[in-house]
Amino acid sequence: MSTRPPEGEGDADDRKRARVDGGDSEALPAGWEVRMSTSKNKPYYFCPATRKTTWERPTEPAPTKAADAGKNSENSQQVKVSHILAKHKDSRRPSSWRQDVITRSKEDALERIKAIRKDIASGSVEFADVARKESDCSSAKRGGDLGFFGRGAMQKPFEDASFALPVKGLSEPISTDSGIHIIYRVA
């Protein structure tokens, strides 16, 4: 299972998957693990059952998927989205599972995302299928699925767009430090 530190939708290479000692001898509440973000070089907390991440040390047991199921309406505290990312040479990490060094311009990445969005919106292709082939994010192997997340877990423009979308809504292109995205809200 791939993990995602709170800073957003970065590649799996950005993170160590090994558990780390958070430097605190007090036991974590049930359902949480401590992991290390290599991009921030600091520990974060991860719940494998819900894939929730947070920088703040949890004080309550981790929610279960069943407990989260009632929280995912359009006015909820959490959303579930899939996305397609087109990185560019000025992205915070201009490489991906698809390409070691990304040299495309931001404008080219935007045009690529616009073309992909047009195909998805027309119904000629399925979002998950395109994500698996075209996304520069490691979530491509899951059809772009980022799972559930709450406020503060993603880069602000990505978070704002995700929470603003209706369920089954498809965003316009969204620019973040990671690149250009289109987002599909699942729940």
Residues classed as catalytic: 83, 137, 155, 178, 181
Sign of the C-alpha dihedral computed for residues 96, 97, 100 and 102 taken in this order: negative
HSE-up of 3 (CA within 13 Å, CB side)?
A: 24
Which secondary-structure segment (H or E) carries 164?
helix 156-164
Return the amino acid letter for 59: T
Among residues 34, 7, 41, the alpha carbon closest in space to that of 19 is found at 34
Query: End-to-end CA distance of the chain, in Å?
Result: 21
CA dist., res. 180 & res. 183, Å (int): 10
